[in-house]
Structure 1
Amino acid sequence: MAHMMTSSPTACVVLALAFVLLAVTPTLCYVTDGATRRRGASTSRRHGEARTYIVLVEPPDADGDDDEAAHRRWHESFLPGGGGGGGGEERASPTRIRHSYTGVVSGFAATLTRGELAAVSRRRGFVRAFPERRLPLLTTRSPGFLGLTPERGVWKAAGYGEGVVVGLLDTGIDAAHPSFRGEGMPPPPARWKGACTPPARCNNKLVGAASFVYGNETGDEVGHGTHTAATAAGRFVDGVSAFGLAAGNASGMAPGAHLAMYKVCNGQGCFESDVLAGMDAAVKDGVDVLSISLGGPSLPFDKDPIAISAFGAMSKGIAVVCAGGNSGPTHFTLSNEAPWMLTVAAGSVDRSFRATVRLGDGEAFDGESLSQDKRFSSKEYPLYYSQGTNYCDFFDVNVTGAVVVCDTETPLPPTSSINAVKEAGGAGVVFINEADFGYTIVVEKYYGLPMSQVTAGDGAKIMGYAAVGSPAASHNATIVFNSTVVGVKPAPVVAAFSSRGPSAASPGVPKPDIMAPGLNILSAWPSQVPVGEGGGESYDFNVVSGTSMATPHVTGVVALIKKLHPDWSPAMIKSAIMTTSSAVDNDGHAIMDEEHRKARLYSVGAGHVDPAKAIDPGLVYDLAAGDYAAYICALLGEASLRAITGDAAATCAAVGSVAEAQLNYPAILVPLRGPGVEVTVNRTVTNVGPARARYAAHVDAPGSGTTTTTTVKVEPAELVFEEAMERKTFAVTVTASGGGGAGGGGHVVAEGSLRWVSRRHVVRSPIVADSSVGGPSRRSAQDA
């Protein structure tokens, strides 16, 4: 959410954080109660334990195709006793169907035993079924950091996104928050069909609110949905302040856009059947873009209900923006990898909630904290560290009045450690970041003690100081609180928690797509939801981290592009965002990862989103549903094609077959073969700039830092356009030499770029040559 500075460079709003960690076992760090969700069914002694399944079926006969009631009756007919010959002895109950889907897929969610599922699967029209999963939820400064300025530039050109409807699948919304006030907003477009479920009150800003979880309340008891909604499209709010740190004006990325909230998650998590129901409703209501800040571990696309329903939304012209996941920095940890989705990674902004640890020898280390007390900085305190691993669980020495140094094994310091230091009489606490988080510091509001979080590298130096001399030696320190500092360099930097590629489901399509601000992002918060643990208080704004926060930033940019180019396909919008992204930070160097090494495509995507350039990309790489269908055929086969597209009559013979590397994607990933082996991929660009334009190819050949070298040839080397929307095709041939490639002794990844340069535009595509892509079980780029 945007924060425009009102006075000095340090005047910035700072608030608290709740960090969402995507894990293999889905959990929500926002959970306030541990109640297990009931799915409304008991067990059956004859058929085994019942659970909720998402069941995909063929649509009913055409004469009832547009009748919601006919669809419901058709879905009920699959249940035992429902008139379909399922063989069950019980009468089918309509209440057993949790959701009936007609917008993005044809199917339903119902609670079934294994025996009942077997009976359903024998019915004519059955396609496939999935046991549903529970998925985890995956600013005042960021729009300014991204170059958005009131009354000029992108915001003015795009009318702040006015007339575009942004739909969010999330935890609900605080409809009364000032970020969602309706005064001065125009009504939604006439095509809008959504409404608000009472007691939520719609206005011209919040034009839709519906719940698909038990209880049917659209309010936000978690805070996540309010935060993401305001980040995407919150209105300008003056005088935002919290925690006594700073003040400023806040807004979302598309403050003029309309919002519709589809509550599919609560404190117990996000269940796939509810997520699918929310997507189904959003498409039928008429949203222009969907923002999904949740996800689970990778699945094949034909077994992933979110990927399948996103395909349905895309085929209707709706852009789907999704969080890439919070399981970094490990590779192969992405969520939401389907190429028809826009997958977002998380990075930092140029702001620090500065809390500097100053040692008795004068050396200082910049940390961060939302728990600041400037009175604390006026004196020095004894510094205590156990000279060994110290997780601050308990103390067998006197630490009264001391600044205590604690180790952590988690991205956020455990509240139990803070409480232990406080109970032992400590005056303050310094937490040392876990080692694999590098320079990423995730902050949260804590209560009770002044504190600072420092990097593992700085922590080692602090520990070294504390270890000098005998255990009884005098070591002093203090924490200097500097409120908020902006203009921090380098920024952006990839956040450590941001999930990394390659895609497990489709390694031949480079993912993630783009990076956006996702570390320590300030945005709206429901005042009824306490901030932080250990004495949580009420605030209207909060600081939160995750790819959940990065996603709505990109969603807002999509809304701005949609306003200016309403006829562009989702693929064109994605291409515009990717090919105009920035590859450098605010210091003019290549964007770095959490270890301050050059970030690879598998962590940063094409680059960092740049709204000013994205609205005018010059050329775009377009893809339609038919192109994706051919890709699905090559990747997964005909049965999967029918399951994902929802077309029971679809055949691969009719749609064709396109290998991953040949998909007309804005980023180029080619299999890296043995020395001397050429791999050629083709791409087609569409001219969306001036009618008459000439583009020349500029290649930065992929380099791997190993003995492998690559050469890249682009044919033709020049593209000449004579009219708008004209299309041109070119070929990129990559050849490896040296010791890498298939059979060359190890995994080699080489990265470079292709830039099409005209007088007005630079259209940049990353090129990745990967020796692990396109093994024997996959068709190579040359086979397509």
Structure 2
Amino acid sequence: MIMASALLLRNGKVLVRAEKISLATTRDDIGHGTHTASTAAGRIVDDANFYGLAEGSARGAVPSARIAAYKVCDTSDCDEADILSAFDEAIADGVDLITISIGNTDAADIYSDTIAIGAFHALQNGILTVQSAGNSGNVSGSVTSVAPWLFSVAASFMDRRILDKVVLGNRRTLIGNSINSFTLNGDMFPLVYGKQASTHCSEDLAVSCSAGCLDKNLVKGKIVVCDSTDGVIGEGLRAGALGVLARAYVDDVSQIQPIPAVLLKPHEFEVLLSYLNSTKAPMANILKSESFNDTSAPVVVSFSSRGPNPIAPDILKPDITAPGVEILAAFSPNVSVSEYPNDKRSVKYAVISGTSMSCPHVAGAAVYVKSIHPDWSPSAIKSALMTTARPMSSSKNPDAEFAYGSGHLNPVEAVNPGLVYETTEDDYLTFLCKLGYSKEQISLISGNKSFSCPKKSLSDPNDVNYPSMSASVNAEKSFNIKFRRTVTNVGVANSTYTAKVESGEKMKVTVNPKTLSFTSLKEQKYFDVSVVGKGLASRSQVSASLVWSDGSHFVRSPVVVYSM
């Protein structure tokens, strides 16, 4: 059930929790809650590092914010009643914002999604909830944070990466993924292939260094080569190997290892195997990890869950992306830094990856916006961050908006967005009607038993006043879609905005009217966006962007049409 570990936040307080905590206390005994909390609101600390890696001044997004922790999980699971109770407690305590890095492994109907229900209650009290989008990888429709009132966050790289080098006996250097704090004492050490380091497992299991296969006498003082990733590091640790070199299947993220270990991309691993077969006495050395500059950033990481939204197909999810790879932040010194019980290292700072890490970046940015605009609604704050997000490259991110939503977090611009898309509670309830939910199902979400769906003909769910625009269409059939939107002026009282559209050849986007003139702040204007196309191939998508600008503000919304 639990995707990552927890958290709930505020400007006055940041509501935070770890994924698995002891029954007797809210003290973090996994490290994840500490890490996410300090990312959102930790104070400035000089010379923070993980054994010299990622060294520098560390700080949370809003160092002046205060944190309140609410226990919702025990050592094995997170009880839904406890999650709802934590939302209620946070609301009663007057938090300004909730950030929660918990989620389901699969998307659930909104009326049965505990976090969506708790977040709706928070919304009713003027509180925005930020949630991690999921770590289910680049699989279509894997996003699990689906309700439109949730702020759903994907994870992307920043320009600092941590990698490791392996030097072979022939002086060939291979580069792989690892956060390795160890330095081996010596120049070269013997290599042994997994199938040669086991006396009691089949060759297939031994090659992969499966659990219990490695013979302690055969790996002592040696670096083991394993043709697999899952669990091989722990097996090398159990058997007492000097180090481990393994084939990586997720090859764009480095994790903290309990012993000298490197995960190699397939082509690098094949070079290693070729070297093993070329000599009777293969040798290697695993160096300590180093930081590298990644000029391609930001790019959405492979583990970050993708759209389209499996529950509400016409609401684009995730909403935004933020740094979530190899993030240095505070860590509980009483917890194994690599999650292996035999790893006894104790640290104050660790490097972790996940949408759990990107989520508090956005939460902190939202609190920053709220601190400057305390009267803004949750939807206005969300809109400000989405419409000012930096556009990202679809050539670097093949899933495009289904990977990064509106783009990469840009908090400095969000405090002055010019226009915002505001959504009311009734708008969300009507949206649920459009999804086909019954009065009883809607009341499970809202607690409002008196609400009834409008009797008049319902328009499409894509008419909810959302900062992005998305619609699913039938494959191979022409489409004609209309989005109705309302924007509120929060920039300059007397201002005129002009619409600019950028789109590809497969669809035509028109805006009516093309200019919006305002004479006062908080004034609202309506417009329609029409999208026409001749048809899309099965399981394909096309996108455009709509930008409203008065010359100084640039209010950008992605427009996505896709076929199921």
Answer yes or no: same fold by TM over 0.5.
yes
In the other structure, the counterpart of 1:404 is 224
Match of 2:479 among 647, 656, 677: 677
In the other structure, the counterpart of 1:752 is 544
**Quick one: percent identity of the two aligned structures?**
34
In the other structure, the counterpart of 1:652 is 453
1:349-748 aligned within 5 A: 349-360=158-169, 363-374=172-183, 379-385=187-193, 390-393=207-210, 394=213, 402-410=222-230, 414-420=233-239, 422-423=240-241, 427-434=242-249, 437=250, 439-447=251-259, 450-467=260-277, 469=278, 472-473=279-280, 475-481=282-288, 483-485=290-292, 487-532=293-338, 533=340, 534-584=342-392, 590=393, 597-635=397-435, 636-653=437-454, 657-672=458-473, 675-702=477-504, 709-737=506-534, 740-741=535-536, 746-748=538-540
In the other structure, the counterpart of 1:587 is none
In the other structure, the counterpart of 2:200 is none
Residue by residue over 1:514-566, the C-alpha shift from the partner in whole angstroms, topping out at 9 and shown as x without a partner, is: 11122222211222223222232221122222211111111111110000011
Residue by residue over 1:397-432, the C-alpha shift from the partner in whole angstroms, topping out at 9 and shown as x without a partner, is: 96665543323344x754113433x34xxx432222
Structure 1: any 5+ residue segments left out of the alignment? 1-25, 28-134, 139-160, 174-210, 585-589, 704-708, 773-784
Residue by residue over 1:636-692, the C-alpha shift from the partner in whole angstroms, topping out at 9 and shown as x without a partner, is: 233322222211111112798452211111111123355543211111111211222
1:726 to 1:475, Cα distance in 2 relative to 1, 3 A = same
**1:679 aligned partner, one-letter code:** I
Looking at structure 2, the residues matched to 458 and 639 of structure 1 have their Cα atoms a distance apart, in angstroms, of 57
* Partner SS state of residue 492, structure 2: coil
In the other structure, the counterpart of 2:132 is 323
Looking at structure 2, the residues matched to 233 and 321 of structure 1 have their Cα atoms a distance apart, in angstroms, of 14
In the other structure, the counterpart of 1:257 is 65
* Partner SS state of residue 460, structure 1: helix
Contact 1:171 1:266 in 2 (8 A): no
Looking at structure 1, the residues matched to 55 and 354 of structure 2 have their Cα atoms a distance apart, in angstroms, of 23
Looking at structure 2, the residues matched to 263 and 760 of structure 1 have their Cα atoms a distance apart, in angstroms, of 45
In the other structure, the counterpart of 2:199 is none
In the other structure, the counterpart of 1:63 is none
Looking at structure 1, the residues matched to 74 and 209 of structure 2 have their Cα atoms a distance apart, in angstroms, of 33
1:361 to 1:616, Cα distance in 2 relative to 1, 3 A = farther
Higher Rg of the two aligned structures: 1
Query: Quick check: 535-544 or 653-662, which moved more?
Result: 653-662
TM-score by length of 1: 0.65
Residue by residue over 1:25-59, the C-alpha shift from the partner in whole angstroms, topping out at 9 and shown as x without a partner, is: x36xxxxxxxxxxxxxxxxxxxxxxxxxxxxxxxx
Contact 1:632 1:640 in 2 (8 A): no
Looking at structure 2, the residues matched to 610 and 275 of structure 1 have their Cα atoms a distance apart, in angstroms, of 30
1:613 to 1:656, Cα distance in 2 relative to 1, 3 A = farther
Q: Does 1:343 align with 2:152?
A: yes
Shift of 1:318: 0.2
**Could you say what the CA RMSD is over the residues aligned between the two structures, in angstroms?**
2.9
1:617 to 1:408, Cα distance in 2 relative to 1, 3 A = farther
TM-score by length of 2: 0.88
1:651 to 1:717, Cα distance in 2 relative to 1, 3 A = same
Shift of 1:234: 0.8
1:575 to 1:256, Cα distance in 2 relative to 1, 3 A = same
Match of 1:266 among 66, 70, 74: 74
* Partner SS state of residue 13, structure 2: strand
Shift of 1:381: 4.1
In the other structure, the counterpart of 2:557 is 765
Structure 2: any 5+ residue segments left out of the alignment? 196-202
Contact 1:354 1:481 in 2 (8 A): no
